[in-house]
Amino acid sequence: MSTPNTTLDLSAPMRERKIAARIWSQAFASVEFKIGMIVFIALLLLAIFYPWLSGIDPLKMDIRGKLAPPVFMGEGWNWANPLGTDQLGRDMLSRSLVGLRYSLLIGVSTTILMVSVGALIGLFAGYFGGKIDTVLMRLTDAQLSIPMIILAITILGVSRPTIPSIIIVLGLAGWPVYSRIMRSTVMSERKKEFVRGAQVLGATDWRIMFTLIVPLVLPPIAFVAVLDIARMMIFESVLGFLGLGVQPPTPTFGNIIADGRKYLINAWWIASMPGIFLVLTLTSINLMGASLERARNAIYGGA
């Protein structure tokens, strides 16, 4: 007497992984993605290693060397401070790169938190439906009704902002988008034959969700998350500019630009240099994200 086959059908998740690999491969083949990746990696390596290798303390003040212009302005050619100094004589290159380091840390960590919380809530709501779906989606709707920046300003304005608190506030303010994406995708996937077959074979709900469904829906969410890193970096800079980000003397894009706005006429580089690094970083991320999105649309459109 033959025994029934109780092996789960993993062909759909495996097929989705192959599609995700094709998307990465096609995106990587584009010149746009390569340019964005090269610029991003170069900025990341500079942010990590330059302050350490140069030996320049971004917090060290030198009043005698204050407001020194960048070397390309040809006024003294001070290679010790290639991008000039600020109103307290601190090196602008080191400060901008340390600011980039904190901005990337907050942007990436916030996005991971947003995806984790939103995807988990959307997974439960979409798979179980009923009262669980109703409660979780009403919670999502309530969160969506409050603009992220308003919620962040309100919470951080009554407490001392730190890196963990900024990550938590922005992450918990931005998860509803991922929750809705996850819910709608899961609701369509749970009706397919491979899920029904797994249920007939006696697979638990947890195994079906995390073995069969999650591998199908995570790649599209991951592509969206790449672009959200840039958005979170902008939010972090805005909060820093308003005085609600990482507090001085720690240099961040927002508080450097806020300090430099007072010197725009005679020392424009104080506010401009971190702005240039921010624009370069956001542009590189958006180039990679746009390439991934085009590759995804091309592959799914041709499927």
Which domains can be identified in the chain, with CATH numbers? 11-302 (1.10.3720.10)
Return phi, psi of residue 91, to 5°.
-70, 125
Per DSSP, 44 falls in state: H
**Residue 212 pLDDT exceeds 70:** yes
Buried-state track 205-231, b at ≥16 Cβ within 10 A, e below 16: eeebbeebbbbbbbbbbebbbbbbbbb
For residue 85, which phi and psi values (nearest 5 degrees)?
-130, 165
pLDDT higher than 50, residue 3: no
Distance in angstroms (rounded) separating the CA atoms of residues 14 and 29 = 23
Query: Can you give the pLDDT at residue 252?
Result: 92
- pLDDT for 248 equals 86
Q: State residue 272's pLDDT score.
A: 93
pTM (predicted TM-score): 0.86
Q: Across the chain, how many H-helices and E-strands are there?
A: 12, 0
Closest CA to 100 of 144, 40, 54: 40
* Bigger pLDDT: 298 vs 269: 269
| Alpha carbons 67 and 92: distance in angstroms, whole number | 10
